[in-house]
Amino acid sequence: MSHVHLSRHGKLAELTLDNPARMNAFTVAMLDQLAAHLDEIERDRSVAAVMLTATGDRAFCTGADIMAWGGLTPAEFARHWVRDGHRIFDRLARLSKPTVAVLNGPAFGGGLELAAACDLRVMATGASLALPEAGVGIVPGWSGTQRLLRLMPEPMVKEMALFGHRIKADRALDCGFVAAVGDNPRTLAMGLLERALSLSPRAVEISKAMIHAAQNEDRAAMVEALGSAAIAATEDRSEGVAAFRDKRKPEFSGN
Protein backbone atom coordinates (compact mmCIF):
# COMPACT_ATOMS: atom_id res chain seq x y z
CA MET A 1 0.00 0.00 0.00
CA SER A 2 1.29 3.42 -0.94
CA HIS A 3 1.53 6.00 1.84
CA VAL A 4 3.02 8.78 -0.31
CA HIS A 5 0.79 9.93 -3.17
CA LEU A 6 1.53 12.06 -6.21
CA SER A 7 -1.26 14.04 -7.86
CA ARG A 8 -1.28 16.83 -10.43
CA HIS A 9 -3.33 20.00 -10.62
CA GLY A 10 -2.35 21.58 -13.93
CA LYS A 11 1.30 22.65 -13.60
CA LEU A 12 1.29 21.95 -9.84
CA ALA A 13 2.37 18.57 -8.46
CA GLU A 14 1.18 17.62 -4.97
CA LEU A 15 3.03 15.11 -2.82
CA THR A 16 0.92 13.84 0.07
CA LEU A 17 2.08 11.86 3.11
CA ASP A 18 -0.74 9.46 3.89
CA ASN A 19 -0.02 7.40 6.98
CA PRO A 20 -2.34 9.09 9.50
CA ALA A 21 -2.57 6.06 11.78
CA ARG A 22 1.15 6.57 12.52
CA MET A 23 0.91 10.40 12.40
CA ASN A 24 2.51 10.23 8.94
CA ALA A 25 5.76 8.85 10.36
CA PHE A 26 8.15 7.51 7.73
CA THR A 27 8.64 3.83 6.98
CA VAL A 28 11.17 2.30 4.57
CA ALA A 29 8.42 1.93 1.97
CA MET A 30 7.46 5.60 2.32
CA LEU A 31 11.05 6.71 1.73
CA ASP A 32 11.16 4.56 -1.41
CA GLN A 33 7.83 5.95 -2.62
CA LEU A 34 8.93 9.52 -2.03
CA ALA A 35 12.16 8.91 -3.95
CA ALA A 36 10.28 7.47 -6.93
CA HIS A 37 7.83 10.38 -7.01
CA LEU A 38 10.65 12.94 -6.84
CA ASP A 39 12.37 11.33 -9.83
CA GLU A 40 9.10 11.41 -11.76
CA ILE A 41 8.51 15.06 -10.91
CA GLU A 42 12.02 16.06 -11.96
CA ARG A 43 11.60 14.43 -15.38
CA ASP A 44 8.12 15.86 -15.98
CA ARG A 45 8.55 19.17 -17.81
CA SER A 46 4.86 19.98 -17.36
CA VAL A 47 5.37 20.36 -13.60
CA ALA A 48 6.35 23.90 -12.61
CA ALA A 49 6.01 23.74 -8.80
CA VAL A 50 5.48 21.25 -5.98
CA MET A 51 3.35 21.32 -2.83
CA LEU A 52 4.06 18.88 0.00
CA THR A 53 1.05 18.06 2.19
CA ALA A 54 -0.11 15.45 4.70
CA THR A 55 -3.41 13.79 5.48
CA GLY A 56 -5.21 13.73 8.81
CA ASP A 57 -5.54 16.45 11.42
CA ARG A 58 -3.09 15.16 14.03
CA ALA A 59 0.29 15.88 12.43
CA PHE A 60 2.22 16.86 9.33
CA CYS A 61 4.85 14.22 10.07
CA THR A 62 6.29 12.97 13.36
CA GLY A 63 9.50 11.77 11.76
CA ALA A 64 10.75 8.23 11.38
CA ASP A 65 8.52 5.41 12.60
CA ILE A 66 10.39 3.82 15.50
CA MET A 67 8.90 0.47 14.52
CA ALA A 68 10.71 0.79 11.18
CA TRP A 69 14.19 1.39 12.58
CA GLY A 70 14.08 0.15 16.19
CA GLY A 71 15.20 -3.37 15.31
CA LEU A 72 17.98 -2.46 12.92
CA THR A 73 21.61 -3.28 13.69
CA PRO A 74 23.96 -0.33 14.16
CA ALA A 75 25.41 -0.91 10.70
CA GLU A 76 21.97 -1.13 9.07
CA PHE A 77 20.81 1.95 10.92
CA ALA A 78 23.79 4.07 9.85
CA ARG A 79 24.42 2.73 6.35
CA HIS A 80 20.89 2.37 5.11
CA TRP A 81 18.20 4.03 7.22
CA VAL A 82 20.07 7.26 7.93
CA ARG A 83 21.95 7.53 4.65
CA ASP A 84 18.97 6.56 2.48
CA GLY A 85 16.78 9.12 4.22
CA HIS A 86 19.46 11.77 3.89
CA ARG A 87 19.90 11.02 0.19
CA ILE A 88 16.15 11.22 -0.49
CA PHE A 89 15.67 14.44 1.46
CA ASP A 90 18.62 15.91 -0.44
CA ARG A 91 16.81 14.91 -3.63
CA LEU A 92 13.81 16.95 -2.50
CA ALA A 93 15.99 19.94 -1.59
CA ARG A 94 17.65 19.85 -5.01
CA LEU A 95 14.56 19.59 -7.17
CA SER A 96 14.74 22.08 -10.01
CA LYS A 97 11.16 23.25 -9.30
CA PRO A 98 10.08 25.45 -6.35
CA THR A 99 8.59 23.57 -3.40
CA VAL A 100 6.29 24.55 -0.54
CA ALA A 101 5.58 22.40 2.53
CA VAL A 102 2.17 22.74 4.19
CA LEU A 103 2.61 22.07 7.90
CA ASN A 104 -0.96 21.31 8.94
CA GLY A 105 0.20 19.99 12.31
CA PRO A 106 3.32 19.08 14.30
CA ALA A 107 6.51 18.51 12.32
CA PHE A 108 8.87 16.52 14.53
CA GLY A 109 12.25 14.94 13.84
CA GLY A 110 12.31 13.68 10.27
CA GLY A 111 9.12 15.62 9.60
CA LEU A 112 10.88 18.87 10.44
CA GLU A 113 13.88 17.80 8.37
CA LEU A 114 11.54 17.02 5.47
CA ALA A 115 9.98 20.48 5.71
CA ALA A 116 13.44 22.05 5.84
CA ALA A 117 14.25 20.43 2.50
CA CYS A 118 11.51 22.49 0.81
CA ASP A 119 12.04 26.02 -0.46
CA LEU A 120 9.25 27.55 1.63
CA ARG A 121 7.03 26.44 4.47
CA VAL A 122 3.62 27.57 5.70
CA MET A 123 2.32 26.50 9.09
CA ALA A 124 -0.97 26.03 10.88
CA THR A 125 -1.48 28.35 13.83
CA GLY A 126 -1.52 25.53 16.36
CA ALA A 127 1.32 23.48 14.86
CA SER A 128 4.77 23.11 16.42
CA LEU A 129 8.30 21.98 15.55
CA ALA A 130 10.61 19.68 17.47
CA LEU A 131 13.75 17.53 17.31
CA PRO A 132 12.83 14.87 19.89
CA GLU A 133 15.45 12.27 18.92
CA ALA A 134 17.46 12.46 22.15
CA GLY A 135 14.34 11.36 24.02
CA VAL A 136 14.62 7.91 22.41
CA GLY A 137 18.41 7.75 22.50
CA ILE A 138 19.29 8.82 18.97
CA VAL A 139 20.30 12.02 17.16
CA PRO A 140 18.85 13.88 14.15
CA GLY A 141 19.92 11.94 11.05
CA TRP A 142 18.26 13.52 8.02
CA SER A 143 19.95 16.97 8.11
CA GLY A 144 18.51 18.29 11.36
CA THR A 145 21.94 19.39 12.55
CA GLN A 146 23.06 20.54 9.10
CA ARG A 147 20.55 22.05 6.65
CA LEU A 148 18.30 23.21 9.48
CA LEU A 149 21.09 25.41 10.82
CA ARG A 150 21.04 27.39 7.56
CA LEU A 151 17.35 28.14 8.07
CA MET A 152 17.05 28.73 11.83
CA PRO A 153 19.13 30.44 14.50
CA GLU A 154 21.59 28.06 16.15
CA PRO A 155 20.13 28.60 19.66
CA MET A 156 16.68 27.61 18.41
CA VAL A 157 18.00 24.37 16.90
CA LYS A 158 19.84 23.67 20.16
CA GLU A 159 16.69 24.41 22.13
CA MET A 160 14.94 21.61 20.26
CA ALA A 161 17.79 19.10 19.95
CA LEU A 162 19.52 19.60 23.32
CA PHE A 163 16.67 20.69 25.59
CA GLY A 164 13.70 18.93 24.04
CA HIS A 165 11.63 22.10 23.62
CA ARG A 166 8.97 22.59 20.96
CA ILE A 167 8.90 25.71 18.80
CA LYS A 168 5.49 27.24 18.20
CA ALA A 169 4.31 28.71 14.91
CA ASP A 170 4.72 32.35 15.90
CA ARG A 171 8.40 31.86 16.75
CA ALA A 172 8.98 29.91 13.52
CA LEU A 173 7.48 32.85 11.64
CA ASP A 174 9.51 35.43 13.53
CA CYS A 175 12.80 33.72 12.67
CA GLY A 176 11.84 33.32 9.00
CA PHE A 177 11.68 29.53 8.96
CA VAL A 178 8.07 29.67 7.76
CA ALA A 179 6.72 32.15 5.24
CA ALA A 180 3.23 32.41 6.70
CA VAL A 181 1.06 31.14 9.58
CA GLY A 182 -2.71 30.77 9.58
CA ASP A 183 -5.68 28.55 10.27
CA ASN A 184 -5.70 27.27 6.68
CA PRO A 185 -2.08 26.72 5.66
CA ARG A 186 -3.05 25.03 2.39
CA THR A 187 -4.75 28.23 1.23
CA LEU A 188 -1.64 30.19 2.20
CA ALA A 189 0.52 27.78 0.22
CA MET A 190 -1.69 28.04 -2.84
CA GLY A 191 -1.36 31.81 -2.74
CA LEU A 192 2.43 31.48 -2.90
CA LEU A 193 2.33 28.79 -5.56
CA GLU A 194 -0.11 30.58 -7.86
CA ARG A 195 2.35 33.42 -8.20
CA ALA A 196 5.25 31.01 -8.78
CA LEU A 197 3.28 29.22 -11.50
CA SER A 198 2.91 32.49 -13.41
CA LEU A 199 6.67 33.00 -13.68
CA SER A 200 9.13 31.69 -16.26
CA PRO A 201 9.91 28.06 -15.29
CA ARG A 202 13.46 28.27 -16.66
CA ALA A 203 14.18 31.56 -14.91
CA VAL A 204 12.87 30.11 -11.64
CA GLU A 205 14.94 26.95 -12.10
CA ILE A 206 18.16 28.85 -12.77
CA SER A 207 17.50 31.28 -9.91
CA LYS A 208 17.02 28.37 -7.52
CA ALA A 209 20.25 26.76 -8.73
CA MET A 210 22.19 29.99 -8.23
CA ILE A 211 20.78 30.54 -4.73
CA HIS A 212 21.58 26.98 -3.74
CA ALA A 213 25.10 27.27 -5.08
CA ALA A 214 25.62 30.33 -2.90
CA GLN A 215 24.39 28.36 0.12
CA ASN A 216 26.61 25.34 -0.70
CA GLU A 217 23.57 23.16 -1.41
CA ASP A 218 25.09 20.74 -3.96
CA ARG A 219 27.35 23.54 -5.17
CA ALA A 220 29.66 21.42 -7.35
CA ALA A 221 26.81 19.90 -9.32
CA MET A 222 25.05 23.26 -9.61
CA VAL A 223 28.15 24.97 -11.04
CA GLU A 224 28.68 22.23 -13.61
CA ALA A 225 24.97 22.11 -14.51
CA LEU A 226 24.88 25.87 -15.11
CA GLY A 227 28.09 25.71 -17.13
CA SER A 228 26.77 22.80 -19.17
CA ALA A 229 23.52 24.66 -19.87
CA ALA A 230 25.50 27.66 -21.11
CA ILE A 231 27.78 25.63 -23.37
CA ALA A 232 24.86 23.61 -24.76
CA ALA A 233 23.51 26.80 -26.37
CA THR A 234 26.72 27.51 -28.33
CA GLU A 235 27.48 26.92 -31.99
CA ASP A 236 30.68 25.13 -30.95
CA ARG A 237 28.66 22.49 -29.13
CA SER A 238 26.49 21.91 -32.21
CA GLU A 239 29.59 21.73 -34.41
CA GLY A 240 31.33 19.30 -32.06
CA VAL A 241 28.36 16.95 -32.05
CA ALA A 242 27.95 17.18 -35.83
CA ALA A 243 31.66 16.52 -36.40
CA PHE A 244 31.58 13.48 -34.14
CA ARG A 245 28.54 12.15 -35.98
CA ASP A 246 30.15 12.79 -39.39
CA LYS A 247 33.52 11.38 -38.28
CA ARG A 248 35.41 14.55 -39.25
CA LYS A 249 37.57 17.17 -37.55
CA PRO A 250 35.42 19.90 -35.92
CA GLU A 251 35.77 23.52 -37.06
CA PHE A 252 35.07 25.58 -33.96
CA SER A 253 34.14 29.25 -34.37
CA GLY A 254 34.12 30.29 -30.72
CA ASN A 255 30.45 31.20 -30.95
In this prediction, residue 8 has a pLDDT band, given cuts at 50, 70 and 90, of: very high
Query: Residues 158-201: pLDDT tens digits?
Result: 999 999 999 999 999 999 999 999 999 999 999 999 999 999 99
CA 94 remoteness from chain centre: 7
Which one from 40, 42, 133, 239 is the annotated catalytic residue?
Answer: 133
Q: Can you tell me the mean pLDDT for 144-163?
A: 95
Query: Residues 225-254: pLDDT tens digits?
Result: 778 778 888 988 898 889 889 999 989 898
Answer for the pair 41, 97: CB distance below 8 angstroms, yes or no: yes
If you count them, how many residues does the chain have? Answer: 255
Question: Is the pLDDT at 69 greater than 70, yes or no?
Answer: no
Quickly list DSSP for 43-104: H-TT--EEEEEE-SSS-SB--B-HHHHTT--HHHIIIIIIHHHHHHHHHHHT-SS-EEEEE-
| Assessment of whether the complete model's pTM goes beyond 0.85 | yes
Buried b (16+ CB within 10 A) or exposed e, 226-237: eeeeeeeeeeee
Which one from 14, 113, 159, 217 is the annotated catalytic residue?
Answer: 113
Give yes or no: 113 in active site: yes
Q: Where are the domains of the chain?
A: 4-197, 201-246
Give yes or no: 133 in active site: yes
Topology of domain 4-197, CATH: 2-enoyl-CoA Hydratase; Chain A, domain 1 (3.90.226)
Report the C-alpha gap between 3 and 183 in whole angstroms. 25
Residue 139 CB: number of other CB atoms within 10 A? 11
